[in-house]
């Protein structure tokens, strides 16, 4: 054993909502905690939609995604966990004493008693538009994410895609853009029903089943027209545009985690009601976890995280309480409450 390595009680892999809340709750359980994320910034999948409005987190009024990320990070750091970014986890070794050694793609090692996998859909990359020469417009007006809405004000915007993201951006941009056009390969859209209905009732022009077949530019720098083709008839139409947004989904890379021997399908690890995987001391939370009563919401990710931490605690100490004391009675918050000027009730 490398003497320089510190042994952690819990190592959380993934820095999205589930991972950040797990780091906070692990502190409530007085566990030595490390969080490792492949990205250079905490936030996970939320980083893709910084200006998207989040409505369905309990007790929170509608909140911009970027603000929710900032608040989650602040909460995650409450008990000063070790947080390491830009370190994709690849390898795993179970040592003779039952502890684990995690290894990054660069060979860096991390020693831990338990692991919580909160990796969502893995290391995500946007699916690119597969047209020759498309990449040259990425520096001008071909977009795979929308960081701000304001640059699209008064412009003719074409959105290619039919999932939640495409539908959401059509609804967000329709009030401020000169025109919004949505092009989708299928008749049916994959977004939430209410949002699809809102989009169809708006002034957005919708073309299905069509696909973008050609990008054109008069100056060679920015797209000024797009050719779309009907997938059944072959009919082609040319549309003038000022900006193109592509939402064709995400490509996922789980690095070497799929080789660990976890019981998995293509996207998820199967866990029980305690969020335990088939490997001892390894748990999952958030989008990566799959179980019968799974709730695929950010609110569900928080519950997953707390359950996984509680299970990790009892794995290490079977006599430990089943859960942490609530914050109003948790001794770990006494000094923090004083710092906030809050008087504890006796």
Tell me the pLDDT tens digit for each residue of 247-273.
Answer: 987 777 788 899 999 999 988 999 999
Specify whether the CB–CB gap between 8 and 34 falls below 8 A.
yes
- Which distant-in-sequence residues (6+ apart) come within 8 Å of 48 by Cβ? 124, 126, 145, 165, 250
Residuewise pLDDT in 10s, the chain (346 residues): 444 799 999 999 999 999 999 999 999 999 999 999 999 999 998 887 787 889 889 999 999 999 999 999 999 999 999 999 999 999 999 999 999 999 999 999 999 999 999 999 887 677 889 898 899 999 999 998 887 899 999 999 999 999 888 999 999 999 999 999 999 999 999 878 999 999 999 999 999 999 999 999 999 899 999 999 999 999 999 999 999 999 987 777 788 899 999 999 988 999 999 999 999 999 999 999 999 999 999 999 999 999 999 999 999 999 999 988 777 667 777 777 777 776 555 4
Give the Cα separation of 171 and 192 in Å (integer): 12
Give the Cα separation of 221 and 225 in Å (integer): 12
Predicted confidence at residue 2, as pLDDT, reads 46
pTM for this prediction = 0.70
**Cα torsion 163, 168, 174, 178: sign:** negative
Tell me the pLDDT tens digit for each residue of 145-200.
Answer: 887 899 999 999 999 999 888 999 999 999 999 999 999 999 999 878 999 999 99
Can you spell out the DSSP letters for 45-102? GGGG-TTPEE--STT--SEEHHHHHHHHHHHHTTT--EEE-S--EEEEEE-TTS-EEE
Q: b/e string for 135-158 if b means 16 or more Cβ within 10 A?
A: eebeeebbbbebeeeeebeebbbb
> Phi and psi dihedrals of 195, rounded to 5?
-70, -35
Question: Could you tell me which residues are beta bridge partners of residue 109?
Answer: 103
Q: Is residue 185 classed as helix, strand or coil in its secondary structure?
A: coil
Predicted confidence at residue 344, as pLDDT, reads 54
Predicted confidence at residue 1, as pLDDT, reads 45
Q: Is residue 184 classed as helix, strand or coil in its secondary structure?
A: coil
Angle at 336 between CA 331 and CA 337, to 5 degrees: 85
Q: Which domains does the chain have, with CATH numbers?
A: 7-124+251-339 (3.50.50.60), 128-248 (3.50.50.60)
217, HSE (Cβ side, Cα atoms, 13 Å): 15
Peptide bond into 209 cis (omega under 30): yes
């Amino acid at each position: 054993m490398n003497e320089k390595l510190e042994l952690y009680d819990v190592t959380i892999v993934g820095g999205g909502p589930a991972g950040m809340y797990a780091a906070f709750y692990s502190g409530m359980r007085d566990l030595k905690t490390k969080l490792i994320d492949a990205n250079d910034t905490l936030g996970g999948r939320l980083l893709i939609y910084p200006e998207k409005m989040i409505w369905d987190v309990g007790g929170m009024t509608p909140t911009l995604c970027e603000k929710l990320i900032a608040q989650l990070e602040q909460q995650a750091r409450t008990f000063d966990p070790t947080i390491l970014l830009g370190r994709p986890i690849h390898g795993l070794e179970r040592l003779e004493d039952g502890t684990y050694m995690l290894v990054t793609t660069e060979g860096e090692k991390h020693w831990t008693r338990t692991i919580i996998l909160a990796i969502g859909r893995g290391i995500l990359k946007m699916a690119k538009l597969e047209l020759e020469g498309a990449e040259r417009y990425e520096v001008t007006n071909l977009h795979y994410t929308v960081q701000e809405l304001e640059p699209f004000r008064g412009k003719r915007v074409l959105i290619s895609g039919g999932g939640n993201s495409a539908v959401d951006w059509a609804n967000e941009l329709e009030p401020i853009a000169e025109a919004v056009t949505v092009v989708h390969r299928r008749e049916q859209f994959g977004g939430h029903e209410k949002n699809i209905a809102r989009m169809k009732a708006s002034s957005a022009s919708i073309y299905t089943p069509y696909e973008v077949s050609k990008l054109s530019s008069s100056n060679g720098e920015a797209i000024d027209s797009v050719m779309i083709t009907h997938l059944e008839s072959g009919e082609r139409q040319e549309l003038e545009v000022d900006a193109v947004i592509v939402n064709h989904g995400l490509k996922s890379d789980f690095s070497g985690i799929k080789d660990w021997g976890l019981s998995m399908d293509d996207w998820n690890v199967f866990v029980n009601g305690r969020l335990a995987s088939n490997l001892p001391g390894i748990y999952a939370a958030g989008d990566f976890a799959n179980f019968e009563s799974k709730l695929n919401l950010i609110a569900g990710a928080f519950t997953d995280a707390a359950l996984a931490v509680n299970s990790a605690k009892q794995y290490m100490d079977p006599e430990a309480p089943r859960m942490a004391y609530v914050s109003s009675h948790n001794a770990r918050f006494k000094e923090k409450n004083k710092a906030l000027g809050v008087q504890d009730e006796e």
